[in-house]
């Protein structure tokens, strides 16, 4: 059996050799057609993609896309943080009171008494009733402290109240929250000049908050028959859903003023 295969191979080699050295016109034509056919087949096969090669390339491209997407997200996050920190740095430089920066490490936004948890506490000079602000406006006040952490009551809290005024007309009011997306500016008589778009700021009458901190902008005004006061809805300046960094005003309030006012109130 082996001899037969050997003879077949010898005959094939001999035939190819004779064809190669034979200059007969017919043989040359066959040789030419054969070479052309082989070239055509090779060219066709080279067009057919290698499935395994494509699969590997796709996997590499997919991983590259994931890495690039992650890099873009990190750069975008760094840019946003840089903008916020620059704004906060500007506030700290121009503020007339001492500010201590803090990062929010806990937050509730769907309760009647919403709060934020800060990563600074008593060892950082934080005390109860100290105001919380950011570069946009008023955030709230401190209601509880420990050595390294503190809890802040934000504007979206049923217990929150602050004396405020309308910046344009200097009309006094009380800002509060009754639920929903907006705050409520109370004690505004119907006769007063109040307009949609007016800015609401903290008042110098507050015992906790420094004056002229932006609280929000009047969004709507409603007058109901038989009532002496207008219903004034205010949109907060601060976006609490994206709030990440704040300042606590750690300056000591004017104790002489508070003490004197307290004596008068006791006499009444």
The DSSP code sequence of 14-40 is HHHHHHHH---HHHHHHHHHHHHHHHH
Enclosing domain of residue 28: 2-47
138 pLDDT band (50/70/90 cuts)? very high
Q: Can you name the residues that pair with 177 across neighbouring β-strands?
A: none
Same domain as 200, residue 124: yes
Q: Note the pLDDT of residue 207.
A: 85
Share of the chain above pLDDT 90, in %: 49
Q: Is residue 72 part of a domain?
A: no
Q: Can you name the residues that pair with 165 across neighbouring β-strands?
A: 172, 201
Same domain as 106, residue 32: no
Range 238-257 average pLDDT: 81
Q: Is residue 246 part of a domain?
A: yes
Q: Note the pLDDT of residue 216.
A: 96
Same domain as 37, residue 102: no
| Residues 77-88 pLDDT 10s | 566 555 555 655
Q: Is residue 266 part of a domain?
A: no
Mean pLDDT of the chain: 80
Alpha-carbon gap, residue 53 to 177, rounded angstroms: 63
| Residues 78-129 pLDDT 10s | 665 555 556 556 555 666 788 899 999 999 999 999 999 999 999 999 999 9
> Which CATH number fits the domain that encloses residue 246?
2.40.10.340
Alpha-carbon gap, residue 207 to 60, rounded angstroms: 63
Share of the chain above pLDDT 70, in %: 61
Q: Note the pLDDT of residue 37.
A: 62
Same domain as 205, residue 104: yes
Residue count of the chain, please give it. Answer: 268
Alpha-carbon gap, residue 115 to 107, rounded angstroms: 6
Q: Note the pLDDT of residue 29.
A: 61
Alpha-carbon gap, residue 241 to 229, rounded angstroms: 31
Range 243-260 average pLDDT: 74
Helices 25-47 and 2-21: angle between axes, nearest 10 degrees? 110
Q: Note the pLDDT of residue 107.
A: 95
Q: Is the pTM of this model over 0.85?
A: no
Residue of higher predicted confidence among 60 and 79: 60
> CB under 8 Å to 157, separation ≥6 — which residues?
112, 113, 114, 115, 140, 177
Alpha-carbon gap, residue 194 to 172, rounded angstroms: 11
Least confident range of 32-41, 66-75, 151-160, 214-223: 32-41
Contact present, 122 and 147 (Cβ < 8 Å): yes
Q: Note the pLDDT of residue 261.
A: 56
Residue 164 vs residues 9, 25, 39, 200, 206: alpha-carbon distances, Å: 105, 109, 89, 7, 8
Same domain as 103, residue 23: no
Highest mean pLDDT among 51-60, 71-80, 198-207: 198-207
Same domain as 30, residue 149: no
Angle at the Cα of 123 (from 121 to 127), degrees rounded to 5?
50
Tally of domains within the chain: 2
Same domain as 134, residue 23: no
């Amino acid at each position: 059996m082996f001899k037969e295969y050997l003879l077949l191979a010898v005959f094939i080699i001999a035939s190819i050799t004779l064809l190669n050295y034979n200059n007969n016109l017919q043989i040359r034509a066959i040789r030419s057609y054969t070479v052309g056919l082989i070239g055509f087949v090779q060219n066709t096969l080279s067009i057919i993609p290698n499935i395994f090669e494509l699969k590997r390339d796709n996997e590499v491209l997919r991983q590259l896309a994931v890495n690039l997407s992650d890099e873009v997200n990190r750069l975008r996050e760094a840019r946003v943080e840089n903008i916020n920190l620059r704004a906060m740095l500007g506030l700290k430089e121009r503020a007339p009171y001492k500010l201590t920066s803090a990062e929010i490490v806990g937050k509730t936004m769907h309760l009647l008494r919403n709060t934020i948890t800060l990563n600074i506490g008593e060892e950082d000079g934080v005390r109860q009733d100290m105001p919380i602000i950011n570069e946009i406006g008023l955030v709230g006040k401190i209601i509880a402290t420990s050595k390294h952490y503190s809890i802040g009551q934000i504007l979206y809290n049923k217990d929150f109240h602050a004396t405020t005024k309308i910046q344009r007309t200097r009309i006094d009011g009380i800002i509060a929250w009754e639920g929903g997306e907006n705050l409520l500016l109370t004690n505004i008589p119907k006769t007063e000049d109040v307009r949609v778009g007016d800015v609401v700021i903290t008042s110098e009458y507050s015992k906790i908050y420094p004056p002229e901190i932006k609280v929000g902008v009047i969004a709507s005004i409603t007058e109901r028959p038989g009532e002496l006061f207008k219903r004034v809805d205010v949109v907060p300046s601060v976006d609490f859903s994206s709030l990440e960094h704040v300042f606590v005003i750690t300056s000591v309030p004017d104790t002489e003023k508070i003490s004197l006012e307290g004596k008068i109130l006791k006499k009444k």
